[in-house]
Every structure is written in structure tokens, then in C-alpha cells.
Amino acid sequence: MPIKCVSPDYVMKLYIETFGCQMNVLDSQLVEGSLARDGYTKVSTPDEADLILYNTCSVRDRAEEKVRSRLGRIRGLKESRPDLVIGILGCMAQRESGKLLSAWPHVDLVCGTRELHRVPELVREIQESRRPAKATDIRADFVFDTMPRPGVDGPLAYVSVMRGCDNVCSFCVVPRTRGRENSKPLQAVVDELKGLIDQGVKEVMLLGQNINSYGKGLPGEPDLADLLAALDPIPGLERIRFVTSNPWDMTEKLFRAMEELPTVCEYLHFPFQSGSDRILESMRRDYTANDYLRLVDRARALVPTIELATDIIVGYPGEDDEDFEATVRMVREVEFLQAYIFKYSVRPGTTAVRLGDPVPIPTKKSRNRILLEIQDEITLRKRKEKVGQTEQVLVEGPSKKVPEIFSGRTRQNHLAVFPPDGTVPGDLVDVLVADCTPRVLRGEVCSR
């Protein structure tokens, strides 16, 4: 037991803040669950905490900057409370490792992405020895099943089915911060889902940095389509979504599974990053713009109601007006429901770092703005096409902005808002769409 627990009724308090992707959100939940076994309870401010953890992201410098400013802000807390334990977890911890302990002397713990299951033991060690601890072995196999999930709240849950990435996209830190791919055994995923459904979950989002490679290295090498087919018949499971796919591992088998399996939603997050073959080659993305368009055509032929989302980088080194125009053409041609558009950010440890950052910030900003405007037009038009239609929606609960109104998502991932009308989170209802905004569909529950 931690030293401070000399009075048996004292409850240790954990403050954990998460930066970055859904995988980090899930990792924080798993760390929270394993610390709860050690008697920790979660608090909402660092001032109240005995243990402060930041689960960090390295995908862009801005994400790391936020953590640095947090660390600066809590320095005083440590001076006034030397027993306080401060830890940095996740991708920035993995990338910077021991350098963080020397740069921030008030930090006690640095734990990377593959050793999160060791956080409780490392915190105990720090409390007993009063010495900092570091665990950043990138080759460690991620121990999937030893981290208990805290109870789920609501009908949605994230489930990580694989971690790491064996690809080498030049701009990406993921292979460096998450390591090599390793997949969770298929039966373990099935069992985890059954446990979640027993707790009231209706929809799961399967997570993997490179989810199309699911199964590599597992006995019999089941692929993502096999996994979906194993999950689909689980009683009580209403919907499955999955992220993130890449074009070069995409298969017709997966498209057919999306069409044939009733629980698999017709929504695909499918990053293309750039419409220029010259830039795609420099990014070490193993496809051309035409390859990507052919895959989109196959997806739409095999899954007629599919909606697509994507990731795009603007201002990648060497991107000129012609390259950017190629990206604009792709956005206009494919007509995504959503596009996540990022300004290129140099990442240490990536192969693109040697290319510098030659595209001026004003150019990156204007290209970002141009694409956002085009995409907003497309998204609004797609939402307008839903007006007068009835859409199946999974009720998530009070909407973030207007709590007396409920929200939920359609199978194609449109966000819908509607008066609750006696529905509860987890209900599958039909919503008649009355109108829309660029962000949401608005309607009424018409049947359940």
C-alpha cells in the first residue's frame, strides 16, 4: 500500500488528463482501472490529487506543447507537497523517455505506450524509494488483458484490437512511439465485448493504428473481416465501427464484410493524406491517387450506403500549388462526409525530419482554410440530403451543448439531435430528419 495510507480510511486520489487519440482515451481508462485496484479514486483537479498523470500525444508539436505548459503550471504543487507523484505516460513519454526526467525534475514517472500495465507497481516503487522511475521499452509486448477496465458509462465503448504499426510513413511518429504491430487474440476480443455488453454497451469502436493489419502474427492469421464476422453474432451487440484503415491493406473481403454483417456500420475512416502522387511517394504512402480512387469506387460499389471520412496533411515539405490542387481535386471528387485536415508538423524521429519545414505557415493556413471551406460545403450538402429521411440512431444521451436535447449517431456517423421523447441511452430509434446544420441533423423520434 502507498506510504501515505497510514490512516486506513484515507483514499488516494488520482488526477489523469488525456491528450490525443481514442487509443489514448482507452489507455487512460485502463490505467485508471488498474490504479482503482490499488485504492485510487479519480478527482477532477490536480490540486486535490496525490497522483497526477498526463497521458500524452506526439502526433504534432502542439500536443506536446500543451503538456509542457501543464508541467510548468504544477511545479509549485510539488514544492508545497513533496509526497505528490507526477507522471508522464504515452507517446511523448515513449519518444522523449529519460530526457523528460532531466528536463522536469519535479516529474517522478515516465512510462511509455507498451508498459502502461506497470503504472501501479511503478507508483508504489516511487512512493517507497522516493526516486523517479522510467519504463519505456518499445519492444515490450503490450500486455493486453491484465488491465481491468473501469465500469463503462453509456452504450459506447472503445476496444483496442491491435497496437503499433509496421509501416513507415515519413511524417508519422506512431511506429516510433507505439512500436511494432501486435494484435489481441480474436477470442480475447470476443470475450471482452461480451463483458462490455453485459454492462450495457451496444456499440463498440474497434481501435488500431493500422487496423487493416489486424491478425498478423496470430495463429491462423485471422484478418479484420474475420474478426468482424466473429463479433457480429454476439447477442446484444447492435453496432461495430473501426479505425484507422490505410489504403494499401484494404481488401474487397473487408468491404463485403461491411455490407453483409448487420452490426458493421457503413462508415469508413480512410486517410489519403495527399492527392499528389509526388507527395504520396515522399510520404512513403504505398499507393497513388488513382489507386485510392479505385478503392473508393469498389467501396461504394460493394457498400452502396457507405460514408467516408479521411485525414489530409497540407504543407508537407515540397508541396507546391500543383500538389495542393491535386488534393483539392481528390476532396471534390470523393466527397467525404468528414475530413480531418492538419497542417504539417515536423516530428523528431521521423524520416521526413531531414526535409525540414519549407512551406511557410501562411501558406499552410490558407491551404487548410481552403480545404475546410470546400469540405464544409460537401458535408452540409450531404446533411441536407438527409432532410425528410428517417435515420436509425443509437441514443447516446444528453447532447453536450444542450443537455435537455438528446444526441446519437446514424450508422453512417452523422450526429443527430432530437427531443428525448422518453428514450434512454442505448435505445435504437428511428429519427425523422427535419433539418440540419453543418454539424448535425435535427429531428424527432418517429419509432423505436
Neighbours of 442 (CB within 10 A): 17
The answer to whether the Cα torsion of 382, 385, 388, 389 is positive or negative is negative
- Residue 251, all three cell numbers: 481488401
Beta bridge partners of 431: 391, 445
Is residue 210 a contact point for ligand SF4 (CB under 6 A)? yes
For residue 162, give the H/E element and its range.
strand 162-163
Q: How far apart are CA 435 and CA 388, in angstroms?
A: 8
- Exposed (0-12), middle (13-18) or buried (19+): which is 178, by Cβ within 10 Å? buried
Is residue 247 a contact point for ligand SF4 (CB under 6 A)? no
Is residue 246 a contact point for ligand SF4 (CB under 6 A)? yes
Q: Which CB sits closer to ligand SF4, 18 or 209?
A: 209
Q: Rounded to the nearest whole angstrom, what is the least distance from the CB of residue 57 to ligand SF4 in the complex?
A: 13
Q: Which CB sits closer to ligand SF4, 113 or 246?
A: 246
Backbone dihedral angles phi then psi of residue 9, each to the nearest 5 degrees: -90, 5
Q: Rounded to the nearest whole angstrom, what is the least distance from the CB of residue 344 to ligand SF4 in the complex?
A: 13
Which residue do the cell numbers 515540397 mark?
Answer: 318
Is residue 350 a contact point for ligand SF4 (CB under 6 A)? no
- Residue 15, all three cell numbers: 488526477
Q: Which CB sits closer to ligand SF4, 175 or 222?
A: 175
Which residue do the cell numbers 497521458 mark?
Answer: 55
Q: HSE-up of 210 (CA within 13 Å, CB side)?
A: 22
Q: Rounded to the nearest whole angstrom, what is the least distance from the CB of residue 350 to ligand SF4 in the complex?
A: 9
Q: How many residues does the chain have?
A: 448
Residues 6+ apart with CB under 8 A from 227: 161, 186, 189, 206, 214, 215
Q: Rounded to the nearest whole angstrom, what is the least distance from the CB of residue 437 to ligand SF4 in the complex?
A: 31
- Residue 272, all three cell numbers: 489519403
Site for ligand SF4 in 9-28 (CB under 6 A): none
Q: Which CB sits closer to ligand SF4, 244 or 392?
A: 244
Strands 13-18 and 51-56: parallel
CA–CA distance from 158 to each of 21, 301, 416 (Å)? 11, 29, 20
Q: Rounded to the nearest whole angstrom, what is the least distance from the CB of residue 241 to ligand SF4 in the complex?
A: 18
Q: Rounded to the nearest whole angstrom, what is the least distance from the CB of residue 364 to ligand SF4 in the complex?
A: 19
Give the DSSP letter of residue 242: E
Q: Is 135 left (phi over 0), alpha (psi -120 to 50) or beta?
A: beta
How many residues bind ligand SF4 (CB under 6 A)? The answer is 9
Q: Rounded to the nearest whole angstrom, what is the least distance from the CB of residue 175 to ligand SF4 in the complex?
A: 5
Q: Rounded to the nearest whole angstrom, what is the least distance from the CB of residue 8 to ligand SF4 in the complex?
A: 46
Q: Which CB sits closer to ligand SF4, 208 or 426?
A: 208
Q: Rounded to the nearest whole angstrom, what is the least distance from the CB of residue 20 to ligand SF4 in the complex?
A: 13
Q: Which CB sits closer to ligand SF4, 32 or 181?
A: 181
Q: Which CB sits closer to ligand SF4, 239 or 269?
A: 269
Residues 6+ apart with CB under 8 A from 122: 87, 109, 111, 133, 135
Q: Which CB sits closer to ligand SF4, 311 or 357?
A: 311
Q: Rounded to the nearest whole angstrom, what is the least distance from the CB of residue 11 to ligand SF4 in the complex?
A: 39
Q: Which of 363, 346, 367 is nearest to 172 (CA)?
A: 346
From residue 154 to residue 193, what is the string marking binding to ligand SF4 with x (rule CB under 6 A)? -----------x-x-x--x-xx------------------
From residue 109 to residue 148, what is the string marking binding to ligand SF4 with x (rule CB under 6 A)? ----------------------------------------
User: Applying CB under 6 A, which of residues 56, 97, 209, 379 lies at the interface with ligand SF4?
Assistant: 209
Q: Which CB sits closer to ligand SF4, 147 or 313?
A: 313
Q: Which CB sits closer to ligand SF4, 147 or 172?
A: 172
Q: HSE-up of 69 (CA within 13 Å, CB side)?
A: 7
Contact positions vs ligand SF4 (CB under 6 A) = 165, 167, 169, 172, 174-175, 209-210, 246
